[in-house]
Amino acid sequence: MKNLKIVTLVGCFIALALTAWFILYFSRADISEFHIKVSKKEFSIDLKTRENNIKQAIAQEQDPEKKAVKQKELEVAQKQLENPEQALKEYEEKAAAAYKALEGFKEEIGKRSLAQAKEALEKGDPSLAEKLFQEVLAKGSTTQKAEAAHQLGALAESRIDYVQANKYYQQAVQLQPENPLYLNDAGNLSRTLGHYPESEKFLKRGLELREKSLNPEHPDVAQSLNNLAVLYKSQGKYQEAEPLHKRALAICEKTLGPEHPHLATCLNNLALLYKSQGKYQEAEPLCQRALTIREKALGPEHPDVAQSINSLAALYDDQGKYGEAEPLYKRALAIVEKSMGPEHPDVATNLNNLAGLYREQGKYKEAEPLYKRSLAIREKVLGLEHPHVAASLNNLAVLYEAQGKYGEAEPFYQRALAIDEKALGPEHPEVAGSLNNLAVLYRLQGKYQEAEPLHQRALVILEKALGPEHPNVASCLDNLAQLYYVQGKYQEAEPLYKRALAIREKALGPDHPQVANTLNNLAVLYKEQGKYQEAEPFFKRALTIQEKVLGPENPDVAQSLNNLAYLYFEQGKYQEAEPLFKRALTIDEKSIGPNHHIVAIDLNNLASLYFEQGKYREAELLYQRALALFEKAPGPEHSNEAACLKNYAALLKKMGRGAEAVPLEARAQAIRAKHAQDNPPK
């Protein structure tokens, strides 16, 4: 039996930082009489002070629940530091709303106090306004107390004090349980804190009240629909989210008109949901329309246009349409560099996106300098311990891993994990992603004992943070199952694959590409046990899904063709296997280029088929082409090139050319020895 390399699909968390925006559409407060007097620089300094204070509080906090809240606050503070302009704008809106509310209490607090509070708010200091709201909360009517509590919650949220914000938002809801605005804000904060059942209760009730009291096509109804949809999407409940986003979009289009920039946001939200579900054909026209609207309304070089371009590029990227994605990523990068400067965090994100595209095509030399520049920007602008620095480290590690440079990848994964644990807390989903990435690396190195506890810890984190039926939990199950599979622990692997499949079918639908991934993995498991009848329908269903959703020329389709062909090969069904191997080769040569190391794998597979059929000359030519590619195409040479060398040596012996086989076998042994030396067992 030949050492055929079968490219199985594994759900793996890779921090690629592809932009995704669920921007909520809020009715802004009237700020015509309110003028902020804080510069971006001053506000950034204040944000940095808050970040440092939160870090100190985290270091001193002993209670796990309170520490988890502080970790959420730190995450938000760091996000605001990435875009202080937007953070300042959000503060201005909250401060203007607070001033407007204080105007309603003019008789209770007096004109002088009102003027002083306004001046302080305009300078970025909400303390005097908070003091006045506290007085109203203590002495006012029930309605006044509710409004005061709500404003105290909003100002506490603007200070990134979520304990106080949650306390006051809850108090406002208790005082006026039928106020949809209070319910909406309480629900959104509960979602941020990960309190999903409570968030759902508040948001659903807020939606019911708005539908009852307002026109069903009022923009505030669209806001409530959108917020509830975002909650469901964060839980992986895509089927529940979809009709809400659709209805919000219909309302926005009717009330705002077909060319309003906010409509582009609604289009983008629904498109991103479709992308998560693998509904690429439904997502594409929405992304294209959102881009057209923003280009017309904002101009071709506005940062929001770059966001829409990125969304469309990511959609093409996911489908393996690299030729369509590349010019879009490049255009988005150029816009952001020009509008925000060469060292803005958004430039780093765009560099990551373009680098990821090159990595997927095996263009590792083009990808590496982009990843490195992205990392340098983030380290300089955001600091050495920011989660986005961890994302860049993860990306570089993935790049090195793809080239078989495991020794170079490991310290990057380890540093990324340390940053995420410190910045986000030990139970954050991003920590699970970093744990998973490091565990996959250990599996590839054969360090199974080191990999298993990392996979298990990642699974526990995700089940707790996202719920047991979230798609990310399925990815974690897939990865743990893969670890058991490579060790021959088939009984441990099978129930994990089956559970992952059930989660994905329920959450994503039966035709999602991730469902195909698990079907492929489960089929490979059956094939390895000689259960060919069980494996074949899973391989075929996976192939059908990918052809339907991704198109007939996608690289993932080639992988599934390869897997099904190998199943037939093992059974001696060479006539059935040959056209599948050939089609996989054709797809990969076209989609990822004729010099990619995956093409070398395809050539090896087809050559081994010809070897078994006695077509020695055809096999030799393919082996020679494959080895030529392995020599010049960067990739994990220890497994693939060594296998191909061994296969070609066996062919030469069969042809009576044993002397020519000796140096090939020696070279294969040297490659494997070097890999073992570079990756010694712990």
CB distance 561 to 581 below 8 Å: yes
Query: Which residue type occupies 388?
Result: H
**Position 527 pLDDT exceeds 70:** yes
- In which band, very low, low, confident or very high, does the pLDDT at 13 lie, cut at 50, 70 and 90? very low
Q: Which two tokens stand for residue 226?
A: 């959108």
Cβ neighbors of 416 (< 8 A, separation 6 or more) are 15, 390, 391, 393, 394, 397, 434, 437
Q: Name the percent of the chain lying above pLDDT 70.
A: 93
How far does Cα 607 stand from its chain's mean position?
A: 38
pLDDT digits (tens, 9 = 90+) for 96-127: 999 999 999 988 899 999 999 999 999 999 99
**Position 63 pLDDT exceeds 60:** yes
Q: Which two tokens stand for residue 214?
A: 């307002």
Nearest C-alpha neighbor of 558 from the set 523, 582, 577, 575: 582
| Between residues 670 and 675, the one the model is more confident about | 670
Instruction: For 334-361, give the secondary structure using H, E and C.
Output: HHHHHHHCCCCHHHHHHHHHHHHHHHHC
Mean pLDDT confidence for 562-575: 95
* Domain definitions of the chain by residue range: 40-363
The whole-angstrom separation of Cα 331 and Cα 336 is: 9
**Position 23 pLDDT exceeds 60:** no
pLDDT digits (tens, 9 = 90+) for 336-349: 999 989 999 999 99
Mean pLDDT confidence for 582-609: 93
- In which band, very low, low, confident or very high, does the pLDDT at 637 lie, cut at 50, 70 and 90? low
The whole-angstrom separation of Cα 149 and Cα 69 is: 20
> Could you write out the DSSP letters of every residue in 539-552?
HHHHHHHHHHHH-T
pLDDT digits (tens, 9 = 90+) for 273-329: 999 888 999 999 999 999 999 999 999 999 999 999 999 999 999 998 999 999 999
The whole-angstrom separation of Cα 370 and Cα 351 is: 6
Q: Name the percent of the chain lying above pLDDT 90.
A: 78
Mean pLDDT confidence for 614-619: 96
Q: Does domain 40-363 have CATH number 3.30.830.10?
A: no
- In which band, very low, low, confident or very high, does the pLDDT at 677 lie, cut at 50, 70 and 90? confident
- In which band, very low, low, confident or very high, does the pLDDT at 16 lie, cut at 50, 70 and 90? very low
pLDDT at 633: 67
CB distance 493 to 482 below 8 Å: yes
Handedness of CA 217, 221, 225, 230 (dihedral sign): positive
pLDDT at 314: 95
pLDDT digits (tens, 9 = 90+) for 157-179: 999 999 999 999 999 999 999 99
CB distance 512 to 549 below 8 Å: yes
Q: How many CB atoms lie within 10 A of CB 86?
A: 12
Instruction: For 253-299, give the secondary structure using H, E and C.
Output: HHHHCCCCHHHHHHHHHHHHHHHHCCCHHHHHHHHHHHHHHHHHHHC
pLDDT at 636: 52
The whole-angstrom separation of Cα 564 and Cα 552 is: 15
Q: Which two tokens stand for residue 215?
A: 């026109």
pLDDT digits (tens, 9 = 90+) for 639-655: 788 899 999 999 999 99
Burial readout 20-32 (b: 16 or more C-beta within 10 A, e: otherwise):
eebbebbeebeee
pLDDT digits (tens, 9 = 90+) for 370-401: 999 999 999 998 899 899 999 999 999 999 99
pLDDT at 680: 64
Q: Which two tokens stand for residue 652?
A: 């030469």
Mean pLDDT computed over every residue of the chain: 90
**Position 431 pLDDT exceeds 60:** yes
The whole-angstrom separation of Cα 87 and Cα 383 is: 18
Dihedral angle of Cα 52, 56, 57, 63, to the nearest 10 degrees = 140
Mean pLDDT confidence for 513-540: 96
Which range (55-69, 349-363, 385-399) has the least confidence?
55-69
Cβ neighbors of 150 (< 8 A, separation 6 or more) are 168, 169, 172, 179, 181, 182, 185
